[in-house]
């Protein structure tokens, strides 16, 4: 646990009592704060009551004399809106009273360093990863590479444990964080040693008031704390802008530009992948080259970009190209992200349930040459129209969930079948697939019409695939 600093003797309210909320409450108590808590859901309130926290319904507290008396600060879980499309009533009230509003990420960055670090020869480092797609894989890959290198490393944030729930890092320790736009948008402190921006595509736009607000939330990771090293994907205009704003010129090697598809050899430091080969360039010289085509855990150009980001981050810590290359080959990948489940008579079954938007689905569709595509769920604005240029490798689509018929209208001349359920889609795709083809679950839609989350959807797909004769 990371005890929160600077809260001794203060009363802090915590809103939202999921994994990160309860970890935050514990860390505040460990730092000497008095804590009151609230969650709109009964399940969260029951968990807090079981741990003995002071449960206070701040939604009914309409003034300082009605529940807010003595509260010095509000800490908010990331899933709760604080500005768009409208702030949660508790957050709105806290702001109206002038109380600071923060989240666990902000508390983490202000509390991680201690006086004990002055005695360390190699103080701990923090690598923070953000972006639209590839955050989880990049974070897990960096963590894996450091484990292979024998470095003491912990993974937290939007993946793994809550940031305040990890152990205080010691000599040479590294903390690798995945940070969503929800987390970077509100944190009052953001001071990573190495910051990584993978890419940007439209997502969570209602939460950020549009694309500009979404990018601004990501950009805060670089603008607020000024990381020692910035690893920035430049395959979109926003990344090019961010690299320009962060660096002092093209040869400034504090900025490492990364790309999947572009050659970047005119900069102080760059890592890029083209046609399945990763190259690292520094000050006009190629420093390393790796063939990624045989790395089973990182299929496709989108995963090659993730490899470039992880390569750049771990090279910034001084790891050797040879060590990193070996670690890439031993990386198994993450569940629900281009996860190879089974090879059945020459037909591979790939679980990419995490592909909940068209951008991530497009990347999955470009990773394989012959695809039986399972898609659908709770579709987002625009449906799958944006995927039209990427459907050339699809032999047939098997459509499920709430948006199955809407997606069917947008399929054009691509053969398709409305299956509605995952069970029917897996059965039909398995019956029709031929050796050399891939049955790919890349839904391009949210899961909430049929499943609690994308993990449950992917688990159901995996169960059905495992049960095939």
- Tens digit of each residue's pLDDT (9 = 90 or more) over 292-309: 998 988 988 889 999 999
Taking alpha carbons only, the member of 463, 241, 192 closest to residue 342 is 463
Distance of CA 276 to the CA centre of its chain: 24
The CATH code belonging to domain 110-330 is: 3.40.1190.10
Report the pLDDT value the prediction gives residue 286, as an integer from 0 to 100: 96
C-beta separation of 207 from 81 below 8 A: yes
CATH pick for 339-466 out of 3.30.9.10, 1.20.1250.20, 3.40.50.720, 3.90.190.20: 3.90.190.20
pLDDT for res 163? 97
Annotated binding site for ATP: 131-137
Binding-site annotation, residues: 131-137
Eight-class DSSP state of 4? P
As a whole number, mean pLDDT of residues 228-243 equals 97
Residue 112 has pLDDT above 70, yes or no: yes
Average per-residue pLDDT for the chain? 94
Check whether 64 has a pLDDT greater than 60: no
pLDDT of residue 411: 95
Whether pLDDT at 62 is above 70: no
> Measured between alpha carbons, how far is residue 139 from residues 142, 176, 217 in Å?
5, 6, 19
Percentage of the chain beyond pLDDT 90 is: 87
Q: Give the predicted TM-score (pTM) of the model.
A: 0.87
* Residue 251 CA neighbour count, 13 Å, CB half: 3
Dist. CA 139–CA 154, nearest whole Å: 10
Greater confidence (269 vs 201) lies with 269
- Whether the Cβ atoms of residue 192 and residue 127 lie closer than 8 Å to each other: yes
Number of other residues whose CB lies within 10 A of the CB of residue 317: 18
What does the pLDDT look like over 182-219, one tens digit per residue? 999 999 999 999 999 999 988 788 899 999 999 999 99
pLDDT of 65 strictly over 70: no
Distance CA 50, CA 398 (A): 45
- Taking alpha carbons only, the member of 338, 439, 446, 457 closest to residue 383 is 446
Look at the alpha carbons of 325, 343, 441, 373 in this order and tell me if their dihedral is positive or negative.
positive
CATH 3.40.50.720 fits 11-102, yes or no: yes
Domains of the chain: which residue ranges? 11-102, 110-330, 339-466
pLDDT band for position 447 (cuts 50, 70, 90): very high
DSSP H or E segment with residue 304: helix 300-316
pLDDT class for 61, splitting at 50, 70, 90?
low
């Amino acid at each position: 646990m990371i005890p929160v600093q600077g809260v001794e003797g203060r009363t802090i309210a915590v809103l939202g009592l999921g994994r990160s909320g309860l970890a935050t409450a514990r860390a505040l108590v460990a730092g000497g704060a008095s804590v009151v808590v609230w969650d709109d859901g009964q399940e969260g309130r029951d968990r807090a009551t079981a741990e003995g926290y002071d449960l206070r319904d701040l939604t009914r507290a309409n003034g300082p004399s009605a529940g807010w008396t003595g509260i010095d600060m509000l800490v908010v879980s990331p899933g709760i809106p604080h500005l768009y499309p409208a702030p949660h009533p508790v957050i709105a009230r806290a702001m109206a009273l002038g109380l600071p509003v923060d989240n666990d990420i902000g508390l983490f960055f202000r509390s991680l360093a201690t006086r004990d670090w002055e005695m360390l020869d190699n103080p701990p480092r923090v690598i923070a990863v953000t972006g639209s797609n590839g955050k989880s894989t990049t974070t897990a890959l960096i963590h894996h590479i450091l484990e292979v290198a024998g470095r003491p490393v912990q993974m937290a944030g939007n993946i793994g444990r809550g940031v305040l729930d990890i152990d205080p890092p010691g000599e040479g320790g590294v903390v690798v964080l995945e940070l969503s736009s929800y987390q970077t948008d509100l944190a009052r402190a953001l001071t990573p040693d190495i910051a990584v921006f993978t890419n940007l595509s439209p997502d969570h736009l209602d939460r950020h008031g549009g694309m500009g607000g979404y990018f601004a939330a990501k950009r805060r990771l670089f603008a607020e704390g000024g990381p020692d090293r910035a690893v920035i994907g430049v395959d979109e205009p926003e990344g090019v802008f961010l690299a320009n704003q962060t660096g002092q010129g093209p040869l400034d090697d504090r900025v490492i530009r990364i790309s999947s598809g572009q050659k970047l050899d005119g900069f102080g430091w760059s890592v890029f992948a083209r046609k399945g080969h990763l190259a690292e360039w520094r000050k006009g010289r190629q420093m390393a080259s790796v063939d990624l085509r045989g790395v089973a855990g990182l299929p496709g150009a989108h995963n090659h970009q993730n490899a470039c980001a992880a390569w750049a981050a771990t090279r910034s810590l001084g790891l050797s190209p040879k060590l990193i290359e070996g670690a890439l080959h031993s990386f198994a990948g993450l569940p629900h992200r281009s996860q190879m489940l089974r090879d059945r008579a020459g037909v591979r079954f790939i679980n990419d349930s995490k592909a909940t938007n068209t951008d991530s689905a497009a990347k999955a569709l470009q990773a394989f040459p012959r695809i039986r595509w399972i898609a659908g769920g709770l579709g987002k604005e625009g449906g799958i129209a944006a995927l039209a240029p990427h459907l050339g490798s699809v032999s047939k689509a098997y459509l499920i969930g709430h948006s199955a018929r809407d997606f069917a209208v947008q399929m054009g001349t691509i053969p398709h079948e409305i299956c509605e359920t995952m069970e029917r889609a897996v059965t039909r795709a398995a019956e029709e697939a031929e050796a050399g083809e891939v049955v790919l679950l890349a839904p391009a839609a949210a899961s909430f019409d049929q499943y609690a989350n994308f993990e449950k959807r992917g688990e159901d797909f995996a169960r059905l695939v495992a049960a095939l004769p």
